[in-house]
């Protein structure tokens, strides 16, 4: 996994979306690329894969964009990665690096059990949960689903059940 994370960072110097050399003063630094200013301004038109990852480093948001530049696609089959909060790749723990690799390669679907996101408490970041954990828009992936807190019943639903029982 560590080798895969190092490979993830060895990408062409060209902007992954247009292929031109990004201006280093105006380019935006991603985890593994520099995106030129004009492509960064138009990044909203791309549809990234999104995940919230929970590791010993904390909770981070991860966006993985498929590059449009032929040079990127031919040389490396690597998405452009943005982390929030931004962190240098060298400062990430091994657990965080592995979690990023699992998400980017899709291996998290095979290695972790998944729970529908509707069945999980909204405040995962405030709770003590097993790590690593990957939360996407639809599922929460974890190695220990029994330790994930479930959603509390909606009080409105409880009132409706009580009213129906009285009828």
The residue extents of the domains of the chain are 2-151
Paired residues of 81 in beta bridges: 64
pLDDT given for residue 62 in this prediction: 95
What's the pLDDT score for residue 152?
60
CA distance 17 to 101: 21
HEC readout, 147-162: HCCECCCCHHHHHHHH
pLDDT at 148: 79
In this prediction, residue 164 carries a pLDDT of 55
How high is the pLDDT of residue 155? 55
pLDDT at 50: 96
Whole-structure pTM value? 0.81
**Coil, strand, or helix at residue 10?**
coil
Please identify every stretch of the chain with a pLDDT value under 70, giving residue numbers as ranges: 1-2, 24-25, 125, 152-167
Model pLDDT, residue 7 = 79
Could you give the residue ranges of the DSSP H alpha helices within the chain? 2-9, 37-41, 70-75, 94-105, 108-111, 155-166
Among 65, 58, 148, residue whose Cα is nearest residue 112: 148
Nearby residues of 161 by Cβ (< 8 Å), 6 or more positions away: none
The pLDDT assigned to 128 comes to 77
């Amino acid at each position: 996994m560590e080798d895969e994370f190092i490979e993830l960072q060895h990408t062409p110097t060209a902007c992954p979306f247009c292929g031109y050399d990004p201006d280093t003063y105006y380019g935006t630094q991603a985890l593994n690329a520099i995106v030129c200013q004009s492509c960064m301004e138009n990044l909203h038109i791309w549809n990234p894969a999104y995940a919230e990852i929970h590791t010993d480093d904390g909770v981070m948001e991860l966006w993985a964009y498929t590059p449009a530049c032929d040079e990127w696609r031919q040389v490396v089959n690597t998405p452009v990665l943005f982390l929030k909060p931004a962190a240098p790749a060298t400062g990430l723990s091994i657990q965080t690096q592995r979690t990023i690799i699992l998400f980017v390669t899709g291996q998290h679907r095979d290695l972790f059990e998944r729970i529908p996101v509707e069945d999980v408490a909204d405040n995962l970041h405030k709770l003590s949960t097993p790590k690593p954990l990957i939360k996407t828009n639809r599922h929460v992936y974890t190695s220990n689903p029994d330790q994930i807190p479930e959603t509390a019943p909606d009080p409105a639903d409880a009132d409706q059940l009580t009213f129906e029982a009285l009828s």
